[in-house]
Structures are given as C-alpha cells and as structure tokens.
Structure 1
Amino acid sequence: MKKTLLATAIAGAAALAATSASAATVYNQDGTKLDIYGNVQIAYTYIDKLGGDPDSDLTDNGSTFGAKGEHKINDDIVGYFKAEWEYDADEAKGAGGLDTGDQAYVGAKGSFGDARIGSWDPLIDDWIQDPLSNNEYFDLSDSGTALTADEDNDDSTLREGDKLQYMSPSYAGLQFAIGANFNGEGSYSDDNDDGVRNAGDSGNISGSDQTSFFGGAKYTVGGFSIAAVYDSLDQYEGNSLSGNDVGDQYGLTAQYTVDALRVAVKAERFDGEGDDTDVDFYGIGARYGYGMGDVYGAYQYVDAEDQSNYATEYGDDSFNEFNLGVTYNISSAMYTFVEYAQYDRSGDASDGAAVGIYYGF
C-alpha cells in the first residue's frame, strides 16, 4: 500500500499537518541540503480468506526510512535525490534490517519543469487512483491489480522501477507528464541454471529489450482538477516467452476540494490484449477533515469481461467494492486509524478490518 500522512491530503487540514512528520535536516549550507525521515507503522488486521477461516495478524504496515537531498546547480535549476527503504517494525529482529527498497530516484527541477530517473509510484497511481482511495491499509482494486486479479500483487517491481519521466510546470493550470519504463534484456536471471530462457527464470525472459511509454495531463482551476493518464504496459512483454502484449491501462479522474472536503470520481480501464479480457473501474470517493483527523470512504463498480483475469479468478464478471475509514491525530506526528473494506468476492474473500498506528519523523 502507498502510505502518506492522510491529513495532508485535505487542504482544510493543512495547518494541522504542516508540522507533522517533518524530515530532520542534517545539513543545509552553501545551497546543499540533506534530510532524513521515516515512519513506524503497525496494524492489526482481520481478513476473510476464500475457503478458509479469516486470518488475523499483527503486522508491519509499510514502515520506511529515507533520505533526500538537493543542491543548487544555478539560479534556476536544482538537482535532487530521494532514497527510501522499508523494514518490518513488527518483527524487527528477524527481518534483516532495511530489507526492501521502496523508491529511489535522482533528478533536476526548475522553470523548465521536473526530470527524474529511477524508481517511484506509477503516474496512473498518483494522478488517477490515489485521489479516490489512498488509504492506510485497504484500497480499492485498479487497472494495476487487473493484470493478475490479485489485490496483494500488482507487480510493483516492473511498474515502479527503471523509469525516466519529464513533468512540465503548470501553464495557466495545465500540466503534462511523459515517461518510459525500461525492462532490458540484461535483467534476465537464469534461476534454474539450465542455460535456457524459460518460464522458471526471473527478469526479462523474452530475449529482447522492452520499453513501455506513459503520459498524462492535468488541469487545475481553483479547487477543481481533472487528470487523464495512459500507460502502454509494454515492459510486461519481457516477462513472457511469447512476447505478447498484455494490454494497456488508462484512466480519468476529476476531484473537487472545498474547505475540508474533497470529492473524487474515477473511470479507469485495463484494456486487455486478448478478446473479452478488459476490466473497467468506475468509482467515487470522499474525504473530510474533521479537525482531529479524516473521515473517508469510497465505492467502486468493477465490470470485468468473461475472459479477464478477474472473471476467471473469481467466477464472476461484476463486483461492488467499498471501503470506509477514520483517522485520529494523537499529535502532530502520530495518529491512529480504523478501516473496513468489502470487495464482493466469492466467500467474502479479502473483506476485512484493520486498526493501526502511525508515527512519522
């Protein structure tokens, strides 16, 4: 899940959140600045499983540690970097320390815009999916999970890594972004040591370089914004011996913020390459900052064609998903949350509740 301090998502709560989870500046001199930051997140979850008893767990919820820095190249251009790692706060002794990379990139920004290279969340996450449902534990499904019909696995390594992106400045409220995701032949790993590229290996097993292209545009006026994003998903060709396309993803989201209330609507599609493999997502969500935290919820209708991963995995072609949640700010750096989600799957699979705590520094 993508974790943010949720109070910052509401303009009306910005004053409360301004002092929360601030990074610690360890160096700031001669135009160069270095910050360190992080958070500890722990949650108790209770989730229904298909064909079995519900699972309960006290688990890490995405705890991270990071560093970021910038320096002045000239009067107009600033160079910057960010590196972030994850660790398991619930079982720190056995987790191997900072054991998983989250995001890392380097770039430059100025009046020309922002250009970066590295690993970070896909543009369709930031501009299309997050305004509707970027919660603490439970999110709605989307065109990323439609690749595998698995809410717990959207192939984030492929989708987030090896990227190059340019984002323009805002021109009278209009902004655009373009980029590419590269999955090179050199990423191939002969895991079974048989000297042959096959389905038992990891990385690029197709034998040729694969590059996806993505782009989007956003227009903002006052408290209203609308964004559209397209991604070709061509990097997935490198993980198939047949080299076939998996399809495309695109979406449109509009949101409106007034005082402490934000409302967003979304239309998103995973356009599968094969016949009858498309999945459409239509959703609406709202978030309200009540002064000591946020109250939020979202509903989504999922329309899956007969041969899609969703329909074959779950034995149905339409689903009504919703989630509800509330946060409570204990202090400027610490809050708790409670969430509930229902996904309309067979046997109530993946439905559940979670309660947790967040401390940011």
Structure 2
Amino acid sequence: MKKTLLAVALTAVTAGTAHAATVYDQDGTSLQIGGFVEARAEMEKNPTSFDSNDYSYPTTNSMSNVNDESRFRLNMTGKSMINDTLYGIGFAELEFDVGSSNVDTRYVYAGIGGDFGQVTYGKQDGALDVITDFTDIMPNNGATASNKITSADRVANTLAYAGTFGDISTRVTYKAKQSDVDTVGQGFGGSLVWNLGDSGFSAGAGYAYERDNLAGNAAGTVIDRASTYNTMLGLSYNDEMLYVGLLGSVGKHLTTGTFVGDDNAGFANNNENVDVTVSNVTNFGQQQVGAAKYWGAEFATAVTLDQWILQATYNYGKYTDLDNAGSYLSGVAAKTGDNDPVSANNADFAVNYVWNKQFTTYVEYQADFLDKKDQYYRGDNAWLGAMYSF
C-alpha cells in the first residue's frame, strides 16, 4: 500500500512522516523533522439528548453546524550510529489542536537497533496497530469495529521489539503496570505481517492480552480487575491502482458507558480514569465498569486514478454478552431487550485530490446505519480538509 500514491493521503501519520526532511547528517548522527498542517472542518450529526424511559437518543444536532478541527503535527527522528551495525534512535511527535491549549504527546520513545531489529521504550504503537492498518485507511475515521484494547494501541509505558526478516515483519510489546492506579493495567501483544513477495498480497495476524486495573477508579465497579484481549486477522491486496483490505477481530473489551471506549457523551475511555459523577449518567445509578465479548469485521478499498484517490470502508461490530458489562450497560440491555447489541455499523467514503506529494485536499462522509434507539448510535459525520505535509 505504501508503494503507491495512495500512501500520500491515507492517514495523517503517513503524511506526517513520509516527507520528513533531514536537517542534520554528520559523523554518523542524523536528525529528521516532519509533520503536517491540516485545515479541517467537521460537520456532526450527534445525539443531543438521552431518553431514560427507553434508553434512546431522540434528537440530534444539525449537520449545518461546522466545527473547526484543524491541527498541526510535528515529529522528530534522531539516529546515531554506535558502530557499523548498532545504532541509537529517538522519536517524538506532538499535536497542537485549534481551540485547545493542551499539547497531545502522541509519541515519545527511544531505543537501540541493529541487524537484529529494534528495541524501544516509551509511548509508542502497540502490537496490533499494524493489523488495524489493513483497513484503517480513511483521512479521519476508521477502525470502529476492531475494538482494540488499550495496551494493543498507542500507549505509554510500553517496551517494544520490531524486526523484519525477508518478507515477514514482527512486533512484540509489553505494557508495564504503573505504580499509581489506572484503568490500564499490564498487557502484552504480538503480531506478524507477511508480504507475499511481489504479488501485492499481505497477510497479518495478532494477539494482545491485558489485565485491566479497575479498583480505586470508580466506586461500585463490578470487579476490581478484568482480563481483556484481542485476536485479529488481516488480509490485503495492493497494486498501482487498487487497494483492498479485510480485517476480522474477536475478543473481550472493557465497557464504561453507552459509548464504549468513547468520551463524546461524557463517558470515560480506557485512557482515562472512570468518572462516575458525570451528570448524564447519575440519573441511571452508579456507573459500573465491566467487560463484554465482541466480534467485528472491516472492509476497506481505495482506487487511485491519476491524482484522484477514492476510498471506502465498511465496519460492523457486535457484542455477544452484556450480562457482565457493568450495571449501566446491563441495565440498558435489560431495558431494551437487546443483550447482544450491534456496537458499530457504518460506512465511510472519501474523495482525495493529491496536488503534489506535499499538498492534498479531501472530502469525507461517514454514515451511521444504527437506529437512534440503538445504544451505540453515534450519528453521521462529514469532513472537509486540506493538508500540507513537510
């Protein structure tokens, strides 16, 4: 996929690192600077109310409202040769968003590498990011059905090994337990990606396990600790004009609220301490954390026509048992009579125009096929964007 023009517009991460400029290279030490500036307007049709009588979302806002979601991302890669085969490496990436004074530290890691591969520690990608990349190709939204556990995603306090051996690449990670109590306990994961020579086909598989630490974060949690996990398989085909990717995911995930793993409605995601005092959940009793099994499938395709790139994805995910998902979601399941709710059912479409390797414009639309009475309803979204990469 990264051999074609498609890579220029697939994701902000690709755009932010593909064109990094070498600003220093002397005596075996080099420094590269990269990033992008993205002007991005978002139109959302999100729920604006919650009906406690039937646990539904009767009203949404108008998509005529425009939110400025522009951002600036900057990254730095430093590399220094220790001897003929051994080197030290450091990488950091920061993101600055319009309307926020906070700086998002996306990556900070350092380590050592050589013919054996690379060992790094810090905030970095988990073992399953390379598997979700098979279908996570859209400019803004993606991987809504993969449901990665936190330690399998980009997270701090992670020790990683990455190596490439011929057509096979591997990544193994361990997320250590922190001294302070947090919802992310310790976890590990591993993945393999096999590029089948020059055929254009790639296959990947990965597994991750996490021992979530819940005690002390939310009063009245169902359990003090929970075991969550992911098993994922990916398959893709890529040539100069066509990309097709498939992903299958099964596992068990933490449940913290109506929007599992999402805080748009005021619920905590797995990277935050669980807040049980949020106003829109107090009417329904103490929010309790649990875990539920799920499965998900994703399809992605992209067609490159000269400077045009057309992209589409479809995501479908379903929970198979909410009996132990926590008092709130279990109560929702009992109220709606749906103990196996669909957690994701959406399609995403994007049209990109690549003016040159530095500048891309796009329009993207995501349609949510869930009904407003479905507890995972999110609403439709649309984006207009222009990105300059350096």
Structure 2 counterpart of 1:336, one-letter code: T
Partner deviation per Cα, 1:77-115 (whole Å, 9 max, x = no partner) = 221111111112x34xxx43x722111111222210111
* Count of residue pairs the alignment pairs up: 319
Which of the residues 28, 32, 53 maps onto 1:35?
A: 32
Partners of 2:247 and 2:215 in 1: CA distance = 30
Q: Please list every run of 5 or more consecutive structure 1 residues that lacks an aligned counterpart in the other structure.
A: 1-8, 148-154, 189-202
Structure 1 residue matching 2:66: 3-state secondary structure: strand
Match of 2:52 in 1: none
Which of the residues 125, 128, 131 maps onto 1:128?
A: 131
Structure 1 residue matching 2:128: 3-state secondary structure: helix
Partners of 1:204 and 1:321 in 2: CA distance = 28
Structure 1 counterpart of 2:60, one-letter code: G
Match of 2:271 in 1: none
Match of 1:338 in 2: 363
Partner deviation per Cα, 1:199-229 (whole Å, 9 max, x = no partner) = xxxx369xxxx42111112222121111111
Structure 1 vs Structure 2 CA RMSD: 3.3
Structure 1 counterpart of 2:39, one-letter code: I
Match of 1:77 in 2: 86
Structure 2 residue matching 1:142: 3-state secondary structure: coil
Shift in CA distance, 13/162, structure 1 to aligned 2, threshold 3 Å:
same
Structure 2 residue matching 1:12: 3-state secondary structure: coil
Partner deviation per Cα, 1:29-57 (whole Å, 9 max, x = no partner) = 00101122221112111111123323533
Pair 1:112-2:116 in alignment? yes
Match of 2:162 in 1: 167
Partners of 1:160 and 1:15 in 2: CA distance = 24
Q: TM-score, normalised by structure 2?
A: 0.72
Match of 1:183 in 2: 177
Structure 2 counterpart of 1:180, one-letter code: Y
Runs of 4+ in 1 over 4 A off after TM superposition: 14-21, 155-159, 235-242, 272-276, 308-316
Which of the residues 22, 42, 45 maps onto 2:42?
A: 45
Match of 1:356 in 2: 385
Q: CA deviation at 1:68?
A: 1.3
Match of 1:12 in 2: 4
Structure 1 residue matching 2:42: 3-state secondary structure: strand
Partners of 2:15 and 2:139 in 1: CA distance = 20
Partners of 1:235 and 1:291 in 2: CA distance = 47
Q: Is the 8 A contact 1:293 1:328 kept in 2?
A: yes
Q: Is the 8 A contact 1:138 1:339 kept in 2?
A: no
Q: CA deviation at 1:232?
A: 0.6
Match of 1:200 in 2: none
Q: How does 1:254-273 map to 2 (within 5 A)?
A: 254-272=235-253
Partners of 1:62 and 1:36 in 2: CA distance = 17
Q: TM-score, normalised by structure 1?
A: 0.77
Match of 1:321 in 2: 346
Q: Is the 8 A contact 1:67 1:83 kept in 2?
A: yes
Pair 1:216-2:191 in alignment? yes
Partners of 1:14 and 1:109 in 2: CA distance = 29
Which of the residues 294, 307, 312 maps onto 1:292?
A: 307
Shift in CA distance, 239/216, structure 1 to aligned 2, threshold 3 Å:
farther
Shift in CA distance, 65/277, structure 1 to aligned 2, threshold 3 Å:
same
Moved more, 308-317 or 223-232: 308-317
Moved more, 341-350 or 68-77: 341-350
Pair 1:232-2:209 in alignment? yes
Moved more, 136-145 or 253-262: 136-145
Q: CA deviation at 1:15?
A: 10
Q: Is the 8 A contact 2:368 2:378 kept in 1?
A: yes
Q: Please list every run of 5 or more consecutive structure 2 residues that lacks an aligned counterpart in the other structure.
A: 48-58, 256-289
Higher helix share: 1
Pair 1:244-2:225 in alignment? yes
Q: Is the 8 A contact 2:195 2:201 kept in 1?
A: yes
Partners of 1:349 and 1:290 in 2: CA distance = 32
Partners of 1:270 and 1:19 in 2: CA distance = 31
Partners of 1:326 and 1:47 in 2: CA distance = 18
Q: Is the 8 A contact 2:46 2:379 kept in 1?
A: yes
Q: Is the 8 A contact 1:24 1:37 kept in 2?
A: yes
Structure 2 residue matching 1:128: 3-state secondary structure: helix
Pair 1:280-2:295 in alignment? yes
Shift in CA distance, 62/107, structure 1 to aligned 2, threshold 3 Å:
farther
Q: CA deviation at 1:251?
A: 0.6
Structure 1 counterpart of 2:319, one-letter code: A
Match of 1:195 in 2: none
Structure 2 residue matching 1:184: 3-state secondary structure: coil
Shift in CA distance, 60/19, structure 1 to aligned 2, threshold 3 Å:
closer
Q: Is the 8 A contact 1:204 1:239 kept in 2?
A: no
